Amino acid sequence: MKKVLIALNSFKECASSVELSELTKNLLLEKLDSKENEFVVKPISDGGDGFLETVARQFNLELFNIEISTPYDEDKMICPVGYSKNDKTIYIESAKILGLNIIPHDKRKPLELSSKGFGEIFKALKNLMDKGERQIEKVVVGVGGTGTSDFGIGALSQLGLKIFDEDGKTPAPQPKNFLLAESIKFGSLERLPFELEFVIDVENELLGKTGANHLFAAQKGANEKEIETLERGFEKIISLTPDNLLRGKKLSGAGGGLPAAFKIFYNAKYKSAKDFILNDLSLSSENSNFNLVISGEGKLDNQTELQKGVQIIIDEYKRKVPVVIIAGIVGNYSADENVNVIELKKYFTSIDESIKNYKTGFKKAIDEIVEKYFIKEK
């Protein structure tokens, strides 16, 4: 009996970790005898796209909707959140609020985008508590896949934070206005009656060449000049923040600085994706008896090595069993020994074609896996 762990991450703007993990299992079952092989499906999320669907499956959550503002205009949209009645915990996916997947291509201008919808969700949750409709002791936020890079200022503006320019006016809380700021008023911030925990999809600092802007803003639509403007805007906001709120706090560069803002002003806790995946999602290799591990994500590159979900699985299992990674695209990435990377793009003539026909790509990848790890080993 061969025991196989199937633990895929989401493919951004394509398909969720739950869908792809189930697809992988079903394709394997078409080729292999279920009496001779056991397939254990445990979709993963490092906080980014697919986080809510993953935790809803893992923790049997009740899903409900909250109306919030879009990141790019005054229109409203519906955002799903998950609730565990037993644990009195709310789960939120930042990509459902601020994700690239919900921002039209012509609106992907980080200097003009705002995380205001994120703050509106917290206000809505507080209102539900005030009405006695939900008991909430903790809110867990999966951070990743965001299209905004506003240091969470848009979110905090909905909770009472204000930025003032030299004339005492309050410019819109968008990154393009951060350099106009001369003071910050935060004394009227609403108290949040629940603990905040952010699951961080990457381990990087807020500022610098590997920070929120220099590392991720380009993929959100910013050019080099705009990246520098974003960086200087973040620096300006920090310079106006009292030292006692900053002292001793590591500021995360994940989610365009979103968790950093809540660390400063609400003392939010960070949880690493590694801790979340191995412990909360129960994917530690300790006492496991798998013979093969299949994981994957949309793009495998140097960002993967910043302790994103797939890298966590690789590092946890590569010394014990063969690990196969199914990736849509492989960029600057060197696979370790005992790790076999299968790139779906090789089956198609373009990236767009591979995304459109990802199920066909997965079928071909599974054929390779079956040939190498099941047929040849017999």
- Comma-separated ranges of CATH 3.90.1510.10 domains in the chain: 51-274
pTM of the model: 0.90
Burial of 260 (0-12, 13-18, 19+ CB in 10 A): buried
| CA 151 – CA 115 distance, rounded (Å) | 9
At 89, which helix (H) or strand (E)?
Answer: strand 89-93
Whole-number pLDDT of residue 145? 87
Please tell us whether the domain made up of 51-274 is placed in CATH 3.90.1510.10: yes
Whole-number pLDDT of residue 64? 97
Burial of 86 (0-12, 13-18, 19+ CB in 10 A): exposed
| CA 259 – CA 141 distance, rounded (Å) | 9
Task: List the structure tokens of 360.
Answer: 């066909």
Whole-number pLDDT of residue 12? 79
Residue that has been written with the tokens 């409709």 in this structure:
133
Terminus-to-terminus CA distance in the chain, angstroms? 12
Whole-number pLDDT of residue 175? 98
Crossing angle of helices 17-31 and 51-59, rounded to 10°:
70
**Side chain identity at 184, as an amino acid letter?**
I
| CA 205 – CA 210 distance, rounded (Å) | 7
Taking Cα atoms as reference points, which of 37, 95, 139, 132 lies closest to residue 374?
37
Whole-number pLDDT of residue 378? 54
pLDDT digits (tens, 9 = 90+) for 277-299: 999 999 999 888 999 999 999 98
Whole-number pLDDT of residue 333? 81
Burial of 128 (0-12, 13-18, 19+ CB in 10 A): middle
**Side chain identity at 212, as an amino acid letter?**
A
89 touches 137 (CB < 8 A): yes
In the chain, which stretches have pLDDT less than 70? 305-307, 376-378
Neighbours of 337 (CB within 10 A): 6
Backbone dihedral angles phi then psi of residue 257, each to the nearest 5 degrees: 85, 5
- Comma-separated ranges of CATH 3.40.50.10350 domains in the chain: 2-44+286-375
Burial of 12 (0-12, 13-18, 19+ CB in 10 A): buried
| CA 73 – CA 335 distance, rounded (Å) | 42
CATH class of segment(s) 2-44+286-375: alpha beta
Neighbours of 159 (CB within 10 A): 21
Residue ranges of the alpha helices (H) in the chain? Answer: 17-31, 51-59, 95-98, 116-130, 153-157, 212-216, 224-239, 243-246, 258-266, 273-275, 309-317, 351-356, 358-370
